[in-house]
Amino acid sequence: MKPAPLHVRWLGRTRYRDAYALQHALSQRGADNWLLCQEHEPTYTMGVRTDPANILVDPTTAGAELVRADRGGDVTFHGPGQLTAYPVLTLPGRGGGDKPDTVAYVRTVEQVVIDTLADLGLPGATRMDDYPGVWIAPEGERPRKIAAIGVRLVRNRTLHGVALNVHPDLSYFDHIVPCGIAEYGITSLAAEGIDAGLAEATDAFIARAVERWAPPAEAFGHGRAWDRSDVVWRHHVDDLAPFSRNGAPPSPTRVQPVPTPGSAWPVHPPEGERQPDRLPPTP
């Protein structure tokens, strides 16, 4: 059976809840593989293991919303200047079985980021024992995380992914305990002295992701093993990244804030949202 191609999409600046609904829809409809890349409006997301004590202020005072997600991990931040990538892939079973190797998949995502950072002029980024993600100087006096990773697998299909800090406003992280790790800091390409824009970082990440997740070209004969389209979710003119092209977004979802027990601020639960009416185009 011919392997599924990889469809790469740049979605522009999106609301987290819309991207959440889209990736779940793609996961449930068909077996094609997708890589959804975007930057989000300011949003704090709670993973399934989030300790509410790690949310230090009412997120609305920071100009962000708070959303519950079904990924692993604790609380984190998504916002402008951060590349967020969601691979929606079908993984093979481990050792010929039915269950994929989740740890191996996380390591692969980490390696894509590590290789991307080296391509952008920041070699030496690596893993840190006991802490998923990609780190700068984990053995030094000031370890700091540059990319957070949180994933979920449902029936061999991957959801969620990685958030790489290119040039976000790092002060947003001051309002939470990022990933539940109080003793180490957060950094970005800009904070490390790398003058890379979001377009350059996205292109570099996609190139490395295609190496890892696109099937062999020879399996497609005259077809293409992967394709890329840039789609804009146009809310305001100044939201458009300079390298995005015009396109129609899926219909936005509508969610009412639902108070979380023990929390003083609203949490938007994406579970059960109406899914987008249209999916990104395929060839």
Residue 128 lies in a domain: yes
Residue 213 lies in a domain: yes
CATH of the domain at 101: 3.30.930.10
Q: Split the chain (283 residues) into runs of 10 and give each run's mean pLDDT.
A: 89 96 93 96 95 95 95 95 98 80 96 99 96 96 97 94 98 97 98 98 98 89 86 53 37 33 53 43 45
- What integer pLDDT is reported at residue 16 of this predicted model? 97
Residue 280 lies in a domain: no
Residue 274 lies in a domain: no
Active site residues: 179
- What integer pLDDT is reported at residue 158 of this predicted model? 97
- What integer pLDDT is reported at residue 235 of this predicted model? 52
> Would you list which residues are annotated within the binding site for substrate?
71-78, 148-150, 161-163
Residue 279 lies in a domain: no
Beta carbons within 10 angstroms of residue 124's beta carbon: 11
Please give the C-alpha separations between residue 269 and each of 6, 28, 249, in angstroms, as whole numbers: 29, 19, 21
- What integer pLDDT is reported at residue 245 of this predicted model? 36
Residue 283 lies in a domain: no
Cα torsion 187, 192, 198, 202: sign: negative
Encode burial over 185-207: b for 16+ CB neighbours within 10 A, e otherwise. ebbbbbbbebebbbebbbbbbbe
Task: For residue range 229-256, list pLDDT tens digits in order.
Answer: 998 655 544 444 433 333 333 333 333 3
- What integer pLDDT is reported at residue 267 of this predicted model? 61
Cα atoms in the Cβ-side hemisphere of radius 13 Å centred on 59 = 27
- What integer pLDDT is reported at residue 72 of this predicted model? 87
The domain tally of the chain equals 1
- What integer pLDDT is reported at residue 30 of this predicted model? 82
148 close to 179: Cβ distance less than 8 angstroms: yes
Residue 125 lies in a domain: yes
Cα first-last separation, the chain: 19
Residue 278 lies in a domain: no
C-alpha closest to that of 198 among 38, 7, 19, 17: 38
- What integer pLDDT is reported at residue 233 of this predicted model? 54
- What integer pLDDT is reported at residue 97 of this predicted model? 67
What tokens were used for 256?
Answer: 């009412």
Beta carbons within 10 angstroms of residue 42's beta carbon: 18
- What integer pLDDT is reported at residue 199 of this predicted model? 96
pTM score: 0.83
> Would you list which residues are annotated within the binding site?
71-78, 148-150, 161-163
- What integer pLDDT is reported at residue 169 of this predicted model? 98
- What integer pLDDT is reported at residue 277 of this predicted model? 38
- What range does the domain containing 101 cover? 6-267
Could you tell me where the beta strands, DSSP code E, fall in the chain? Answer: 6-14, 33-40, 43-46, 65-68, 76-78, 82-88, 126-128, 131-136, 144-154, 157-165, 185-186, 226-230, 258-259, 266-267
